[in-house]
Chain A
Amino acid sequence: MRYMPHTAEERQEMLVKIGVSSVDDLFADIPQEARLDGLLDLPLHESEMTVERNFRTLAAKNLSPYMTPCFLGAGAYQHHVPSVADHIIQRSEFLTSYTPYQPEISQGTLQALFEFQTQVAMITGMEVANASMYDGATSCAEAVLMACRVTRRKKAVVSGNLHPHYRDVTRTTLQFTEFETKNLPPVLEGNEDFDEHIGSDIACVVVQNPDFFGRVQDFTALADKCHEAGALLIVVVNEVVSLGAIIPPGDMGADIVAGEGQSIGVPLSFGGPYVGLLATRQKFVRQMPGRLCGQTVDQDGKRGFVLTLSTREQHIRREKATSNICTNAGLCSLTFTIHMSLLGETGFAKLAKLNHSQAVTLAEKLEAIDGIEIVNDTFFNEFTVRLSGDASSIVEKLAAKDILGGVPVSRLIPDNPDMSDLLLVAATETCSLSDMDQFVAALKEVL
């Protein structure tokens, strides 16, 4: 077996040195009746060539969005990942290192984390960010828990236009705690009214920008209302490229920003692994979940970086920890940092502008089709379309023509007959004009 170095002779010699007669003696603590004598009922080992062939065969059973017009979004977006980003994360020193517990020999990971935290704080308009969470949805749930700790209140009000997965994950995460969520119903027309829900017992209000239907909104007034009531405003961003074009949540008065960073540097990979973003104000740092990297100096006075404020974390605080999380998104935060560094101020703004112009172009083409209506007046790179029929079956018909023509809202919000004809459509820099024209032509055929 190519991954294990011992020869049969070496194993024998090592057993002698240990002072046992067979390898079975090393497993003597396992209760006799539970020991497995034979092999598991699974195939035997395969060569690298065979394994590669197995996966190529499986890959061929899928329709690749890379090879076909793709307009899917709903919380995960197709973007170009620069070759440099994928190359660097495959460098042995990043790929095969552990959590930087020994900072003297982990400065690479640590400095990159410090840069990641800075970039996330900058683009969200917040003061500090952590070293990442599992994904946007879990980050949202952790943000709500954090708001409850900060305010010492127990209720969170959750916008109906928050991505349904984020709503479900937040509700699931809180269900056995002393905290509760009030999930408002989706409001397709936007301008949700939170007034009657905000009171002195509310820890936070959770909104999304652009919202699940793609609408861009100003939450400044909502932030003020929250603050007057002593509550926090949590703004979720699941298309992080939008921050290059629109006013960041921090400037609107957000107290915590929970986001999904997949759009920058992370491949779609069928939904994971992604990179959760969590940013907040400096004064709330000690209530923040997850890892944090901080700047310090070494014995010679040289600048260096360490994991810090770990007294919040489970390995020290145990059941009193701010969270049970003990990993971050590691390589996904690294590829985010590399891609963002390549873009820089100029490139990030340009990428955002390009995404918006692509979506506007597509919207104009779709609006010209009879029986199609764009629901939201504002959007960034994704919008909701009302079709003249059931969106799921139209999507299936488009898929049969090898076009990935959007996400039916009913897949995420089922059991709402008013929404069965709604389709979420996204356009990023990866769509060509020809992709859009194929989409339009196919839609006309299947409608």
Chain B
Amino acid sequence: MLNNKGRPTQPAAVDSTDPQMETFTGNKGLELESPLIFEQGVPGRIGVDMAEPETVKSRLGGLDRKDPIGMPDLSEPQVLRHFVRLSRQNYAIDSGFYPLGSCTMKHNPRINEKVARLVGLGDLHPMQPTSTVQGALEIIDSLAHWLKTITGMPAVAMSPAAGAHGELCGVMAIRAAHEARGEARTRILVPESAHGTNPATAALCGYKVEAVPARKDGRMDLDAFAAKLGPDVAGVMLTNPNTCGLFETDVKKIADLVHEAGGYFYCDGANLNAILGRVRPGDLGVDAMHINLHKTFSTPHGGGGPGSGPVVLSDALAPFAPVPFVTRGKEGFDLVEQTEGAAQQSFGRMKGFHGQMGMFIRALAYMQSHGADGLRQIAEDAVLNANYVRVGLQDKLHSPFPGICMHEALFDDSTLKGTGVTTLDLAKAMIDEGYHPMTMYFPLVVHGAMLIEPTESESRQTLDLFIGAMSHLLEKAKAGEADDFLTAPHFAPRRRLDETGAARNPVLRWTAPENSDKEGTALSAAS
């Protein structure tokens, strides 16, 4: 079974050659399993002590819950142990090299976590009178200043909650700007290699998405782009450096062309890490760009979130920015929360309250720790590391776009041809070597793509060992030892999982066994 990327999603029926010694408990030394939390409770236990509720006259209007929910009761040490055991089944940056291209898996400093939890920051309520949160508003204002200075842009919308949410913010600002001029443009141009969020975002803003092909050198085809421009084009969404890890050398021409056509230039800032302090997007003609604070500025990825995606805006788009935003007056900082007055042209509101404050604090702490000097060093070391890996593997793997790359090195799977080993198999074998695999099968424009982003956090020794391990695996594959790859991973908490089966018959929640007579575990009528 192959999915639409040609990636097998069902494990091959190859017999495992592992020594499969079974234990009575199912645990193996430090490999400790934990059943679902729902399979562990005994009614009447509790993991949180609290005061006994006073007996009062109910004001629930007779709408009291009647049926039990079905959740398990556990004590605090049981819950702690459960989640500690779960945590140990995760790979993490803190435990090893995580070269996941396009994701910027860098070191997450713990000072960021500490300051985000300070009394007077982590516990602030969003609806406190602004007179009581001047320090919080100063943090937002200060982070905005850093973001504007780093990008060379005059304005920033702070509230978007993630990268894709930032894209939505930027494209909505573009549409609002066109509408304010009385123009109803219908198309957005997006390069073929773009993140999937770009076309999805444009569609949500009512635009027809048109893909622009790439040139042989991995950059957007300028001629094809120019040919697609017209009075109905609202703008272009371009990732720079792009998803092939390359700087779009024609970026200024692209900006000029789209501006001449009356459109705007949205830059996907996912790869900002590569250019910090080396070039400012504002100097390249960008009108809007989201910044993934969870990538570039190290607010942790946290297993998939929460993110934060402020959007820097040009003067042309700034008036359309969403509320809320912080203003600075004689009597201190204030919040503009309604689309009136100073925010009359604002296209609206994107989320509840004021943005991902917890992420703002972490990002600002990270920026202060680096300073102007450290930020530039980040870009230099990230690009240095990526090129070091690229050169280290160039005899073993094929680069579809040879030459200097930015923060990530891209390879295709042509070297694996005829070995019986796919990119996916290679990735699973990397797990056995103790690595998190690179990004695979993205960008879609490269066959069997392997996108390796080492980030600035890694030492030369780590990279040397990784290059050695990859070379070893590739030699093994070429030597015809495909079986070890097809059955990999052998040393992870799970072997390959049946993704096809999971999608065909979705089991998305636990349900109590049919004949369960345990009090409190029977499900309510809904299931």
Contacts and interface: CB of A to CB of B under 8 A. Distances in A.
Contacts of B247: 27, 29-30
Given A39-B373, A169-B350, A306 B197 contact: no
A126 B70 CA distance: 13
B506 A309 contact: yes
Given A56-B118, A346-B44, A363-B59, A105 B457 contact: no
A18 B387 contact: yes
Contact of B306 (A27, A296, A327, A343): A327
7 contacts: A1-B377, A44-B374, A58-B136, A106-B303, A216-B63, A319-B200, A324-B197
Interface stretch (B225-233, B271-279, B415-423, B477-485): B271-279
A243 B201 CA distance: 34
Interface residues of A, number: 219
B502 interface: yes
Given A52-B111, A103-B494, A6 B459 contact: yes
Interface string B286-324: 000000000000001111111110000000000000100
Given A72-B125, A331-B303, A106 B91 contact: yes
Contacts of B133: 62-63, 270
Contacts of A97: 90-93, 301-303
Contacts of A160: none
A66 B355 CA distance: 21
B91 A285 contact: no
A338 interface: yes
Given A93-B90, A330-B302, A122 B70 contact: yes
Interface stretch (A8-16, A193-201, A225-233): A8-16
Contacts of A115: 36-38, 510
Interface in B464-518: 487, 489, 492-499, 501-503, 506-510
A90 B172 CA distance: 35
A256 B122 CA distance: 31
B119 A66 contact: yes
Nearest to B493: A107
A21 interface: no
Contacts of B53: 350, 353-354, 356-358
B58 interface: yes
Given A48-B111, A62-B120, A29 B358 contact: no
Contacts of A363: 59
Closest 8 CB pairs of A and B: A271-B353, A172-B348, A271-B126, A61-B135, A330-B305, A342-B47, A59-B120, A92-B94
B395 interface: no
A388 interface: no
Interface string A35-69: 11001111111101011101111111111111100
B132 interface: yes
B502 A306 contact: yes
Contact of B508 (A178, A245, A292): A292
Contacts of A127: 509, 526-527
B205 to A, nearest CB: 5
A296 B501 contact: yes
B165 A90 contact: no
Nearest to B139: A58
B125 A95 contact: no
B37 A341 contact: yes
A155 interface: no
A34 B283 contact: yes
B106 to A, nearest CB: 8
* Most B CB within 10 A of own CB, among A76, A87, A339, A346: A346
Interface in B69-109: 69-74, 76, 79-80, 82-84, 86-95, 98, 100, 103, 105, 107-109
B196 interface: yes
Given A17-B388, A51-B369, A123 B69 contact: yes
A120 to B, nearest CB: 9
A132 B307 CA distance: 13
A117 B109 CA distance: 30
B196 A298 contact: no
A335 to B, nearest CB: 10
* Most A CB within 10 A of own CB, among B41, B94, B284, B381: B381
A429 interface: yes
A74 B127 contact: yes
B523 interface: yes
Contacts of B427: 102
A294 B500 CA distance: 11
Contact of A26 (B3, B370, B383): B383
A299 B73 contact: no
Contacts of A112: 83, 86, 303
B509 A118 contact: yes
Nearest to B127: A407
Contact of A244 (B65, B74, B249, B391): B65
Nearest to A274: B352
B52 to A, nearest CB: 8
A315 B201 CA distance: 12
A399 interface: yes
Interface in A344-367: 344-351, 353-354, 356-361, 363-364
Interface stretch (A133-141, A146-154, A437-445): A133-141
Contacts of B340: 414
A88 B280 contact: no
Contact of A296 (B36, B51, B497): B497
Nearest to B253: A31
Contacts of B19: none
Contacts of B258: none
B67 interface: yes
Contacts of A329: 305-306
B436 A105 contact: yes
A45 B278 contact: no
A284 to B, nearest CB: 12
A28 B405 CA distance: 10
B162 A76 contact: no
A247 B63 contact: yes
Nearest to A87: B80
A34 to B, nearest CB: 4
B156 interface: no
A327 B164 contact: yes
B450 interface: no
B503 A294 contact: yes
B47 A296 contact: no
Interface string B396-433: 00000000101000000000000000000001100100
B269 interface: no
B221 interface: no
A100 interface: yes
A272 B355 contact: yes
Contact of A23 (B199, B372, B380): B380
Contact of B115 (A52, A122, A169, A396): A52
B495 A298 contact: yes
Contacts of B146: 42
Contact of B352 (A35, A271, A327): A271
B365 interface: yes
B27 interface: no
A327 B7 CA distance: 22
A168 B367 CA distance: 32
Nearest to B498: A296
A325 interface: yes
A104 B165 contact: no
